[in-house]
Structure 1
Amino acid sequence: MKKKIQDIIHFIQTGIWQVSRDDVSPLVYLLYSILKKLILTIRFFTTKRVMSQAAALTYSTLLAIVPIMAVVFAIARGFGYNKYIEMWFRDAFKSQPQAADIIVEFVNSYLVHTKSGVFLGIGLVFMFYTVLMLVSNIESAFNSIWQVKKQRSIFRTFTDYLAMLLLFPILIVLTSGLSIFIATVAGSMPDLLLLGPMVRFLIALLPYILMSAMFIGLYVFMPNTHVKVRYVIVPGILAGVAMQWLQLFYIHSQMWVSSYNAIYGSFAALPLFMLWMQISWTICLFGAELCYTNQNLDYYDYNTKTSDISHRYRIMLCTILASRICRRFDRGGRPYTALELCGETGIPIRIANDLLYAMIGARLLIEITSDEKGEASQFVPAENVDNLSLGVMIDRLESQGRWKIDLPLDKHYNENWLSALEVRREYLRKSREILLKDL
């Protein structure tokens, strides 16, 4: 038994990552791919402090939910749809009815005081600050998962988020109207043997569809990188179903909730709401990790981490990446993306991203990013390729960070030290004769 367990562990850690398409049948390879995606997602989820990000997003949500809903309610009232927005909001928080009542009360009070001019000025600034902080934190969490270093530009941040706030109430009204229409049709045909059950099934399925569509849109829209839609459909559906199951769990656990209310009284709504929000963000971020793994599985090696690579091997991998970038640039070709480099060199995507950004920090490469959402980043040399040699690359990479510390090093210098420094200079001098574009 112990031997079987060890064999299973060894297969998960090593064997499954060495299986190619030609080794097994298509069905078995598909099952192996699903298992690898789950393994990688769980590994990323547990090692990248995703739970801490979920806690931070929970705190930001608590600060921003009233201002955000105030904006949504205000826009909806302008179109005369505030009733539908409130119905949608209470339905979305049906597992937290006390929290929903409190938030709606706060929102209505917020709007009343805003009309009277009490919150104009400082209150308006605070509202926009909390909203932007929440959205910025969400984007940072998604960018961290996708290894994106560059945030949206200020212009794109303003336009994208403003468009989202304006479209959100319209989408809610449309979906609410669709739900009411389907419910009306179902109520008018109770005697039809076929259509009645089908419509009722569609009504029961509609919350899952809408929640899954919301997650799919979030996974495509939020990361500031090119996310392919086909890779987020399954994670979006899984996240939507998990959220609906979470709602059902909270709704059907009234006995546990009532005992919690007996201890905390009316204050129980806040910790229960925070717990629900933290679990919701955990589901959301786990789905985002699954999207990243789903899109980049072919360019990842389970057993390889950048921190495990030796300095010498890191230099060699940087040389491989930089030489290809310089060679294509010298020949007038289109700049490489990270995925193209991974496909040609076989270097895992996370290793390649880390090394590319290390070379950007060393002023060897430049990242070219379009302000368009669907464009992937490209990488070009930071200066004339005739100046970028192996010696220049090694010197700049080894010089990153703080170069001098206030220590009395002069007393250590002697003739042997000077000889060692001269050997080092000679090594770099000869390395500078080898251009990266020629490798």
Structure 2
Amino acid sequence: MKSKVRNLQQLPVYKIAYLAIRFFTKERVVNQASALTYSTLLAIVPIMAVIFAIARGFGYNRYIELWFRDAFSSQPQVAEVIIGFVNSYLVHTKSGIFLGVGLIFMLYTVMLLVNHIEIAFNEIWQVKRKRSIFRTVTDYFAMFFLFPIFIVISTGLSLFLATMADSMTDFLLLGSFVRKLIDMSPYILMSLLFIGLYVFMPNTHVKVKNAIIPGILSGIAMQLVQFFYIHSQMWVTGYNAIYGSFAALPMFMLWVQISWTICLFGAELTYTSQNLDYYVYNGRTEDISHRYQLMLSALLMSIVCRRFADGRRGPTAEELRQSSGIPIRVVYDLLYQLQEARLLIEITPDEKGDESRYLPAESLDNLSVGVMVDRLEAQGRWQLNLPVANLLTDEWVRAVVQRNAYLRQARDIRLESLYKGE
């Protein structure tokens, strides 16, 4: 039996699914889905206001409203309330009432939602560094305006295909193909939306080929959840009888929660698929002993310093993994610690598709084993005011002197000399 399980784990599909489920449950991604559900409730009215405003500019506002009501056909109370809020918001904005405060609140709620999405995706991808202020503003505003345009164009395309299908009743084969294409369009559009989200949202390089299958699976799962959500209302008649119109709110929140869970699990699948070959070690960096972390940090520093001394480009995280054999998850964690200790600097390219490279933070003459150990051990901001005078003894002083002597001796060992080169 064990041999069969071991053979199954050698299969890429099984291994991807196994690791994705393992990390999904281990990292408590469901809690992140709950936080995103709350942010979605705050941002849904401003987002829909922008979608309706852009749709009015294209002349599609009536079709967008029909699409929205159809999406919430199982909960007409929710659709009615949201559309009422959106129309009220647009009327007040058009008349200039509360324009400044309303605009600030709209931008804040949308930015908060997108920021929470980025944090959740970065945690899945083990990315410690957030976007710069400039990239945050440009990327978030690009999504803020492109997403409504995507909804409007997709709705217009569906209407165009529906019109074509009606006009092709005499062409049985072509008309049947167009109608099947219309039936498949929600799955296709939802899959494209997830693929773009998985590639664009993490603040790291994500290969498109690794996001295609997770995006398609997430898109299909979302449509199935939507189908179940609409047709399951006949089972909750008693629930509606107890809570009345208030039942729409918990049902809507449950749907949003499940939707975000599907989205984040797809992100886990994308991450696992891209890093499948590097999962020789599945633990956390915190599980490694402090001594061994120092050894691994010294190895990474030596590779970076040696390449810099040879006049070569700074290595990427993937190149460091290949040269050192350290698992990629551990490489990212150690690189972040070395940056916090002011031993390395990260050179971020302008293009998101390019990977960051790492260089020594100062002259190689100053980077030694002693300096690295001293800085890594000195990291931390919280200090306790202990009664040191009552604790110090002769043996304590002796221990401090010996440690300082050890660090002085280690300063003679330059980090670049630890690695023989490639």
Report the TM range for the smaller structure's normalisation.
over 0.9
1:279 matched residue in structure 2: 258
Q: What do the CA deviations read for 1:357-395 (whole angstroms, capped 9, x no partner)?
A: 111111111112134322222111111111100111111
Instruction: State the 1:191 CA deviation.
Output: 5.4
Q: 1:89 aligns with which of 48, 55, 68?
A: 68
2:371 matched residue in structure 1: 392
Aligned mates of 1:150, 1:404 — CA distance in 2 = 25
8 A Cα contact 2:51 2:149, kept in partner: no
**123, 134, 139: which one pairs with 1:144?**
123
TM-score by length of 1: 0.89
Letter in 2 for 1:401: G
Q: Is the 8 A contact 1:326 1:437 kept in 2?
A: yes
| Aligned ranges 1:100-119 → 2 under 5 Å | 100-119=79-98
Q: Which deviates further from its counterpart, 241-250 or 135-144? A: 135-144
Is 2:275 the partner of 1:325? no
Cα drift, residue 282 of structure 1: 0.6
Q: What letter corresponds to residue 71 of structure 1 in structure 2?
A: V
Q: 1:321 to 1:293 in 2, by over 3 A?
A: same
Post-superposition shift, 1:270?
A: 0.8
2:246 aligns with 267
For this pair of structures, how many residues does the alignment match?
418
Structure 1 pair 229/303, CA: closer, same or farther in 2 (3 Å)? closer
Aligned to 2:354: 375
Deviation string, structure 1 residues 99-127 (Cα, Å, up to 9, x no partner): 22221121111111222332222222212
Who is 1:38 aligned against? 17
Q: 2:100 aligns with which of 99, 104, 121?
A: 121
1:153/1:371 contact within 8 Å kept:
no
Counterpart in the other structure of 1:208 = 187
Measured in 2, the distance between the counterparts of 1:197 and 1:81 equals 26
| SS state at 1:253 partner | helix
For the 8 Å contact 1:85–1:169, the answer to whether it is kept is no
Determine helix, strand or coil for the equivalent of 1:194: helix
Q: 1:124 to 1:313 in 2, by over 3 A?
A: same
Give the AA of the match of 1:173. Answer: V
**1:158 alignment partner, one of 98, 116, 137:** 137
1:296 aligns with 275
How far did 1:88 drift?
3.2
Which range moved further: 99-108 or 182-191? 182-191
| Partners of 1:131 and 1:336 in 2: CA distance | 36
- Percent identity of the aligned residues? 65
Shift of 1:165: 3.1
Contact 2:60 2:156 survives alignment (8 Å)? no
Q: Secondary structure of the equivalent of 1:232?
A: helix
**Structure 2 stretches lacking a partner, 5+ long:** none
Q: Give the TM-score, by structure 2 length.
A: 0.93
Deviation track 1:318-369 (CA, whole Å, cap 9, x = no partner) reads 1111100011111111111111111221111111111111111111111121
Cα RMSD, aligned residues only = 2.1
In structure 2, the residue matched to 1:55 is 34
Q: Comparing 293-302 with 125-134, which one deviates more in the overlay?
A: 293-302
Residue 336 of structure 1 contacts residue 378 of structure 1 at CA under 8 Å; is this kept in 2? yes
Contact 2:304 2:314 in 1 (8 A): yes
State the match for 1:238 in structure 2.
217
Cα offset, 1:35, TM superposition: 1.5
Give me the whole-angstrom Cα distance separating, in 2, the residues matched to 1:97 and 1:403.
Answer: 53
Secondary structure of the structure 2 residue equivalent to 1:380:
strand
What is the aligned counterpart of 1:307 among 286, 306, 309?
Answer: 286
State how far apart, in whole Å, the 1-side matches of 2:158 and 2:222 are: 19
DSSP-derived class of the 1:301 partner: coil
Is 2:165 aligned against 1:186?
yes
CA positional deviation for 1:187: 2.8
Matched, 1:406 2:379: no
Q: Supply the AA of the counterpart residue of 2:195.
A: I
Question: 1: distance between equivalents of 2:152 and 2:387?
Answer: 71
- Structure 1 Cα separation of the partners of residues 35 and 71 of structure 2: 22
